[in-house]
Amino acid sequence: MSPPPHNQFMPERPATPRPTRRRLMKRADIAPFLTAISANNPTPQTELLYSTPFSLLVAVVLSAQTTDAAVNKATPALFAEAPTPQAMAALGAERIGQHIRIIGLWQTKAKNVAALAQLLVERHNSVVPADREALEALPGVGRKTANVVLNEIFGHATMAVDTHIFRLGNRTGLAPGATVRAVEDGIIG
């Protein structure tokens, strides 16, 4: 049986490309890869502007689902008016909100920052705790936020795994995992 005649009005479909198999990084290549990254940026730091552990904690809470640049635009006036947990708690959610309206989810974040500041005053003598469990007990603080604060302020060996790090860990084979925590554990190892 011969193939049907070509229809001049219907172009032939191109062949569907075969899915390519991702090449994972070989174990022997991981250390040189990390060394190259470290050499390029030997002292990585957050792009968030801060002057105290408290201002970093607030900035990281505000940075969820928004850019560091947007947070850096909003926080100077906020921190000028409320540089301490006591001052931030006294400011309250409504006045905090006036400073951070340019940030996504600002109403929830304003409430969290006011409550976080109040709990720092009540439970931690206005000091940002160096303990993961204590940090994660604060409103608006999850594992990723705690990791940033613990690493940046206290020098703990932690990794804030965001979507990009999660993908990189899986696509390269550097730290494959089905969950953010699995990738974090694979990187910190």
Q: Is residue 162 classed as helix, strand or coil in its secondary structure? A: coil
pLDDT value for 31: 82
From CA 83, how far away is CA 59, in angstroms rounded? 12
Decide if pLDDT at 26 tops 90.
no
Residue-wise pLDDT for 129-177, tens only, equals 999 999 999 999 999 999 999 999 999 989 899 888 999 899 888 889 9
Catalytic residue list contains 29:
no
Tokens of 177: 């995992």
Averaged pLDDT for residues 32-52: 88
pLDDT band at 101 (very low <50, low <70, confident <90, very high): very high
Averaged pLDDT for residues 23-36: 82
Q: Which of 17-21, 107-111, 177-181 has the highest mean pLDDT?
A: 107-111
Report percent pLDDT > 90 for the chain: 65
| Residue 165: partners with Cβ closer than 8 Å, 6 or more residues away | 159, 183, 187
Task: Report which DSSP code applies to 20.
Answer: P
The catalytic position among 68, 73, 111, 162 is 162
Averaged pLDDT for residues 95-124: 97
Catalytic residue list contains 68:
no
pLDDT value for 3: 57
Residue-wise pLDDT for 46-70, tens only, equals 899 999 999 999 999 999 999 999 9
pLDDT band at 2 (very low <50, low <70, confident <90, very high): low
CA-to-CA dists, residue 105 to 64, 100, 174, angstroms: 9, 9, 33
Q: Where are the domains of the chain?
A: 53-142
pLDDT value for 60: 97
CA-to-CA dists, residue 126 to 65, 69, 142, 152, 177, angstroms: 27, 27, 19, 19, 37
pLDDT value for 17: 59
Spacing of C-alpha 170 from chain mean position:
17
From CA 58, how far away is CA 121, in angstroms rounded? 14
Task: Write phi, then psi, for 6 (nearest 5 degrees).
Answer: -70, 130
Arch. (CATH architecture) of 53-142: Orthogonal Bundle (1.10)
The catalytic position among 29, 111, 144, 185 is 144
